[in-house]
Structure 1
């Protein structure tokens, strides 16, 4: 690293180095990284402490308390807009009162208020929308513990309630990644489950009594969450080969179908009658079914055969519920 001449630039560099090193760095290591003497680094660390950056010292090592703060960033108007749009999505995704979401949005609004008061006002409104929603303390606490485990590389002991078997089991879990899902506005954690000795995806809303342990873990270098979820329609992935799904959309909805990129693998082929074929490769059709249902009779499942059969059974069940025309 090049020698940093400006003290404020150096403080920013030190804070970013500590933010990227959960186990912390010694004064000597920091001095070598920024090419300054250790006395200068000690004064810099003292200034960072006075700023309330959440600086902690354990033995000879300095680290940041990630629960308190991260480093300061400077934003352009376009970047503020990007964060505003993200804030709107976050507020819509949060169907529960998560105090951390509220605080994050309020801090973001404070940070951009001088530069962009219009955006700040709307971000405050997004925070207020989340504040008025129901509070589920058990969900917030589970997410807090899983977040710390992920950030600090520490395993979490938890109880997980299975949806299919309606039973709860205790597990030791290493959180590798946390991912939101637009389906049910839920949050999922992907990681290594010691009980099953394999990579698993857990819905955070089903996690109970999560406790942080002192047992450390390292995320494998080959673990790539984006690659893992590349074939997923949402967060459900499979080790098996991808499934090809082929849908035929009625001419009345073709333009709407073409307006969005629903999945990175999608291919749309126009047919002579004005309809279109929509083809994707997905790891599982589980999360895709609600999306297919929303199109009603304007879509027909052509493949795979088992998905088509499932939708046919659902249509027959709906007829039994609602009756036939004229009833």
Structure 2
């Protein structure tokens, strides 16, 4: 057996051991980018090498492979690779950059726990190799404006999301007027500003976004609630171009990038649901549905006169007077 195939089988064992319901052939095709037949051959080899594997059928009559998680020596034998430690270190730095210190702290705890499970010589060598690799990759926190979070408020909201509990808080309106709110929290949106996605207890049942920098005196009420089973945070966030959402603005958005900038624009994903069309003259047209005209205008300004807003009319009017011709570089 080649080294690569042996490494693949060890990865399959990790997957089968870490997932409660085991793994299926579709999991393998997604993980290794292989076809169904290759996945079948891989699992036949896996069954030969790992005789302790448990094979069951799920509700859809698909075979699933599970491995017992009884031997702690498996982790020590596998160890933590320097590239894996670098990935974890980079995730910590991204969390710190995105004003998510609670996530950064939890990732640091996980990092320490993994290294503590390793023999000291292995852990020291891995840390040294990871530090050198991280330096070679040149990763650094991105400079730029951001709002440092209130760690007390962040801790309360994180605990409420985990339970889940309703939270009582004071929320400052755009004019600074405070109002008392009791909310059912559903998630947070990251960006230059952080938003809490929540449903007011005494409201119309609709989800709202609340800026964390306007929240004062958050506390857990001790009252639990049942989350809406059909609510999807990713789908909800896709209604906005950035962090801000307004139902009155939501609708089709069409941008046309000039032939000179089409290659650059093609590299971007402007929205998860976008549709891209190459025009006969070499231009690029991008279509999606979202709200947040002000955030769109802020972003489009960077492209100067190299992008034209086809729709909506309100956004086209907003950017018409600000399409610069003298920008020396594209985003």
TM-score by length of 2: 0.59
Paired residue for 1:140?
Answer: 151
Paired residue for 1:212?
Answer: 220
Paired residue for 1:189?
Answer: 196
Paired residue for 1:100?
Answer: 102
Q: Counterpart of 1:252 in 2: which secondary structure?
A: coil
Cα offsets for 1:128-177 (capped at 9, x unmatched): 979xx9996x71111111111111221111011122x3311111111111
Contact in 1 for aligned 2:196/2:211 (Cα 8 Å): yes
Contact in 2 for aligned 1:233/1:263 (Cα 8 Å): yes
Root mean square deviation, CA, Å: 3.9
The separation in 1 between residues aligned to 2:286 and 2:146, in whole angstroms, is 39
Task: Describe how 1:173-252 pairs up with structure 2 within 5 A.
Answer: 173-181=183-191, 184=192, 186-197=193-204, 198-237=206-245, 242-252=250-260
Number of aligned pairs? 237
Deviation (angstroms), 1:78: 6.3
Q: Counterpart of 1:218 in 2: which secondary structure?
A: coil
Contact in 2 for aligned 1:228/1:237 (Cα 8 Å): no
Whether 1:161 and 2:172 are equivalent positions in the alignment is yes
Give the counterpart of 1:270 among 271, 274, 278: 278
Q: Counterpart of 1:287 in 2: which secondary structure?
A: helix
Paired residue for 1:68?
Answer: none
Segment drifting more, 283-292 vs 295-304: 283-292
Cα offsets for 1:219-241 (capped at 9, x unmatched): 12122212222333233345579
Contact in 1 for aligned 2:249/2:293 (Cα 8 Å): no
- Shift of the 287–148 alpha-carbon distance from structure 1 to 2, 3 Å rule, reads same
Cα offsets for 1:169-217 (capped at 9, x unmatched): 1111111112212xx2x22111111343432111111111111112221
- Shift of the 293–116 alpha-carbon distance from structure 1 to 2, 3 Å rule, reads farther
Paired residue for 2:302?
Answer: 294
TM-score by length of 1: 0.60
Paired residue for 1:18?
Answer: none
Paired residue for 2:96?
Answer: 91
Query: Unpaired runs of 5+ in structure 2?
Result: 1-18, 21-78, 116-122, 326-331
The separation in 1 between residues aligned to 2:130 and 2:80, in whole angstroms, is 13
Query: Unpaired runs of 5+ in structure 1?
Result: 1-11, 14-73, 320-327
